[in-house]
Amino acid sequence: MTEMTSAQRTLTVALGERSYPIHIGVGLLKRDNVLVPYLAGHQVMIVTNETIAPLYLEAICSGLPGHLDVRTVVLPDGEQYKTIEQVSRIWDALLEAGFNRRCTLVALGGGVIGDMVGYAAAAYQRGVAFIQVPTTLLSQVDSSVGGKTGVNHPLGKNMIGAFWQPKAVIVDIDTLSTLPGRELSAGLAEVIKYGLIRDEAFLSWLEENMQALRNVEPVVTAEAIAQSCQIKADIVAEDETEQGVRALLNLGHTFGHAIEAHQGYGNWLHGEAVGAGMTMAATLSHQLGWIDSSALERAKAVIASAGLPLAAPADMLADDFLARMKLDKKNVDEKLRLVLLEALGSACVSDATPSDTLRELLNHYPR
Ligand code: NAD
Ligand code: MG
């Protein structure tokens, strides 16, 4: 990997006419006109939540030229508010302001805000421009890239949504200075995931730089975000609507979703559940003879060094896992499909795990 000394990076998500840049750097929000090249017209609606508004709303508004018509919507904070009712509040604000098809929505916040604002933009007047300004590490490396937008339904998470790509993603690393440590670790789970599924050299680099990442040192953080976004962008460019390779991004997520759902959303953060889930997937890959014990130990060590749990929840039985895992969207014809490791840096989707091997893993896996 080439040595980088600056914390500024730009990369591109290559989707033909819908291609867009990801700008990564420090002090971007305070920079004048950072959003201007991506605005469709003079009408701008910035959407954020009650936690982020006092921290960053003023900075982003002050960088916009005075002739623009800038409005704001501040939603309540929390996954439980990722609902169609809250998206409707965005549509109400747009209509009350008389905003037309040339307006631009700006999502200032974590993945919850990004997913909702993207969906609001996808449906408002059959689709308007939006810009992602992600403020959590998870949203900077994952949810803001790739165009999956949507909300939860009382009967299922992310069940209502659309593919709708942003005009740009603006990642200001300074926003991570206020992010709680647990949330930072949760984002690192997805960063490690990219190394495990696609890039052994990146994984080695993460092993060396984990402490700097946990300290949010700007150059190292910019590099980790850029590498992560590049891997996600490459996968999305290959398979925008998840017909194939995009499923590899679910490493650890089948086990992880089962943990999140069983523990009640919010008790285990998504990234924490993915940390334990990736460890379970690596352990299963080892039991199937696909990776050796030194590879398994490396995977476990890097996950632990990010401050993530390796063990499954104490009160979760094998049957609790199996009942939840049966509902996974990747399954085809009732066959359980899991993302497994063929090596560090290489993953595949497999439905070849014998059911007694899986039950054996779940029975004996550390709690
Ligand atoms: P989040 O948006 O709930 O943010 C986590 C917490 O951090 C919130 O309380 C938020 O207000 C706070 N916060 C955000 N930025 C902050 C900052 N800079 N300083 C201090 N506090 C800050 O959670 P998340 O982990 O960012 O995103 C999770 C959501 O993303 C889930 O709804 C998930 O379904 C979705 N997601 C979507 C995709 C996708 O491809 N669209 C991918 C992964 C996850
Ligand atoms: Mg995830």
Q: Is 77 in the pocket of ligand 1 (CB under 6 A)?
A: yes
Distance CA 317, CA 314 (A): 8
**Span from the CA of 357 to the centroid of ligand 1 (angstroms):** 35
Query: Quick one: which ligand is closest to 137's CA?
Result: 1
**Closest listed residue to residue 133, CA positions, set 42, 69, 242, 53:** 53
Closest CA to 184 of 315, 73, 94, 307: 307
Tokens representing 18 are 């819908």
Q: Which atom of ligand 1 is nearest to the CA of 175?
A: 18
pTM of the model: 0.96
Range from 6-10, 170-174, 351-355 that averages highest in pLDDT:
170-174
Q: What's the 186 CA to ligand 2 centre distance in angstroms?
A: 9
Residue 256 to residue 272: CA distance in whole angstroms: 8
Q: Is 208 a catalytic residue?
A: no
- The yes-or-no verdict on residue 2 having pLDDT over 50 is no
Token couple for 220: 């190292």
The pLDDT tens digits of the residues spanning 190-206 come to 999 999 999 999 999 99
ipTM of the complex: 0.99
| Interatomic CA distance for residues 53 and 33, integer angstroms | 19
CA of 277 relative to ligand 2 center, distance in Å: 11
In whole numbers, what is the pLDDT of the chain averaged over residues? Answer: 95
Numbered residues of the known binding site for NAD(+): 77-82, 111-115, 135-136, 148, 157, 175-178
The residue among 325, 326, 314 whose CA lies nearest residue 263 is 314
Nearest-atom number in ligand 1 for the CA of 78 is 3
Going by alpha carbons, the residue nearest to atom 5 of ligand 1 is 110
Q: What is the DSSP string of 221-238?
A: HHHHHHHHHHHHHHHHHH
Q: Rounded distance, CA 41 to CA 129, Å?
A: 9
Annotated binding site: 77-82, 111-115, 135-136, 148, 157, 175-178, 190, 253, 270
Backbone angles phi, psi at 82, to 5 degrees: -85, 75
Q: Mind listing the pLDDT tens digit for each residue in 265-296?
A: 779 999 999 999 999 999 999 999 999 999 99
